[in-house]
A and B are shown apart, each in its own frame.
Chain A
Amino acid sequence: MTLILTLDQVNYAPQGKTILSDIDLEINENAFITFTGPSGSGKSTLLRLIATLLTPTSGVIKYQGQPQAMLPKPHYRQEVSYCFQQPSLFGETVRDNLAFPFSIRNHPWSQKRAEQALASVELSEAMIDAPITSLSGGEKQRVALIRNLLFPPKVLLLDEVTTGLDSDTKDCVHRLIASYHQQGMTILMVTHDETEIAAAEALLEIRGGRLEAKHE
């Protein structure tokens, strides 16, 4: 097994307020790790640090053996892709959001791929021209998810992406994630969902900014 991500004594304390302390973590390629823990314990913060959307106050995060600081950020973020808890979407329509991953890669827009992606999370193809303000919370969450998956990343960071979905849609999202995992994607998932916690391959708990193995 090769390591894809390592966190070594990572601390995050902006303006002296400690949010995460002494996080040590080794993540193998193709792992599926589930994080849980009380609200405000630092789960989103951990994923954002891994995604380079925040920078550790001290400690090092390595990706494929290289410290994050050495890697060009835009490219790294395309490979280690963070999906927001409660995304807002940007631009005017769903199309703006789905076209963005294409345009930042100078890749020609593919309507077909976008429609397939929408279908994979049980959204209708017609939604592509819907204004983002007309979407429900759960619809936004799914559009945000496929935005991260149009160009599959190496590591997918999922921040409570199934919150607010009904159980059928949840199942569909789980199947989608599982199929990418089978194709080799490394997945880090934050959740409060009981069924997701029960189904976890590897479960870690964050409490008060510290990482603990979960004991039932």
Chain B
Amino acid sequence: MNSLIVSPTALAFAVVLVLIALVINLREKIGLEKDMLIGVIRAVVQLTVVGYVLTYIIKVDRLWLTGLMVAIIIFNAALNANKRANGIPHAFAISLLAISTATLLTIALLVLTHSVRFTPSQIVPVSGMIASNSMVAIGLAYRSMNASFHDQRQGVLERLALGATLKQASNAIVRSAIRTGMAPTIDSAKTVGIVSLPGMMSGLIFAGVDPTKAIMYQIMVTFMLLAATSIGSVIACYIAYPQFYNVDLQLR
């Protein structure tokens, strides 16, 4: 596993790559240089901290500590999904429920089928992948729902006037929101290996793991992300759509 070590000097040289991006930005007046710097600094700081934290968690190997780490990951993912909700009431609670169900259910299945061992070195990164993909899916689904309820307001009103229940009035919108949320996961499942070599697989191959083994892991990851994003977006959308109505079954 240690066939590849990134030395501090190598990393320092990699900074040159960031400088190239910065220069292009300044020259072309794209105006992203501030965001880029913040992004670079945050990436370095966050990853360094997480690196030490992970090392510690893996070393002490305590159930409660692993659980706490997973909880923090899920909490942060829900906070982020909430930002995309753009005013949907209770979006944080809804996201928390959806992401934790998606993450815990998927992990439970993986552990029960012995695809993943219950050790921090496997549980924590896998939770991170699942939670972040669910977070992105749910965020996209929220955005789609907000846009549809806005653009199709008259259509929803007409359905309500015809005597539809909230579910019947929202069905088309909810379905398309779930589709939108899952689209990136499905697209990447379709193109995996042809267009992109996903981060995890590339990382493993980079680090010297036999590509066939890395690919086995990637197949598992693809399946688990499909499961997790569908569970997450379905839960989030079905709990979120009634928030667009008031108690008198009218659009807010």
A residues neighboring B (CB under 8 Å): 51-55, 73-79, 81-84, 87-91, 100-101, 103-104, 144, 147-148
One digit per residue, 1 when the CB lies within 8 angstroms of any chain A CB and 0 when it does not, for chain B 160-175 equals: 1111110010001000
Across-interface contacts of A53 in B (CB, < 8 A): 157, 160-161, 250
B residues neighboring A (CB under 8 Å): 152, 154-165, 168, 172, 248-250
CB within 8 A of B162: which of A52, A54, A55, A100? A100
Contact between chains at B161 and A104 (CB < 8 Å):
no
Cα A50 to Cα B231 with chains together (Å): 40
B155, B159, B160, B161 — most chain A CB neighbours (10 Å): B161
Cα A103 to Cα B249 with chains together (Å): 19
Contact between chains at B250 and A82 (CB < 8 Å):
no
Contact between chains at A75 and B158 (CB < 8 Å):
no
In the A-B complex, list the 8 residue pairs whose CB atoms are closest, starting with the nearest. Answer: A78-B163, A90-B155, A77-B163, A88-B154, A73-B249, A82-B161, A74-B163, A55-B248
Contact between chains at A81 and B249 (CB < 8 Å):
no
Contact between chains at B162 and A148 (CB < 8 Å):
yes
Is the contact region of chain B dominated by helix, strand, or loop, or is it mixed? helix
Contact between chains at B163 and A88 (CB < 8 Å):
no
| 30 CB < 8 A contacts A-B | A52-B248, A52-B249, A53-B157, A53-B160, A55-B248, A55-B250, A73-B249, A75-B163, A77-B161, A78-B162, A81-B161, A82-B161, A83-B161, A84-B158, A84-B161, A88-B155, A88-B158, A90-B152, A90-B156, A91-B155, A91-B172, A100-B159, A100-B162, A100-B164, A101-B163, A103-B168, A104-B162, A104-B164, A104-B165, A144-B158
Across-interface contacts of B249 in A (CB, < 8 A): 52, 73-74
Taking the nearest CB of chain B, how far is it from the CB of A114, in angstroms?
Answer: 14
Cα A91 to Cα B148 with chains together (Å): 12
Which residue on chain A has the smallest CB distance to residue B161?
Answer: A82
Across-interface contacts of A55 in B (CB, < 8 A): 248, 250
Which residue on chain B has the smallest CB distance to residue A148?
Answer: B162
Which residue on chain A has the smallest CB distance to residue B249?
Answer: A73
Taking the nearest CB of chain A, how far is it from the CB of B212, in angstroms?
Answer: 46
Across-interface contacts of A104 in B (CB, < 8 A): 162-165, 168
Which residue on chain A has the smallest CB distance to residue B164?
Answer: A104
Contact between chains at B158 and A77 (CB < 8 Å):
no
Taking the nearest CB of chain B, how far is it from the CB of A148, in angstroms?
Answer: 7
Taking the nearest CB of chain A, how far is it from the CB of B168, in angstroms?
Answer: 5
Taking the nearest CB of chain B, how far is it from the CB of A145, in angstroms?
Answer: 12
Which residue on chain B has the smallest CB distance to residue A76?
Answer: B163
Across-interface contacts of A101 in B (CB, < 8 A): 162-163
Cα A144 to Cα B249 with chains together (Å): 21
Cα A190 to Cα B160 with chains together (Å): 20
CB within 8 A of A77: which of B152, B155, B160? B160
Which residue on chain B has the smallest CB distance to residue A91?
Answer: B172
Contact between chains at A74 and B164 (CB < 8 Å):
yes
Taking the nearest CB of chain A, how far is it from the CB of B87, in angstroms?
Answer: 18
Across-interface contacts of A103 in B (CB, < 8 A): 168
Taking the nearest CB of chain A, how far is it from the CB of B15, in angstroms?
Answer: 53
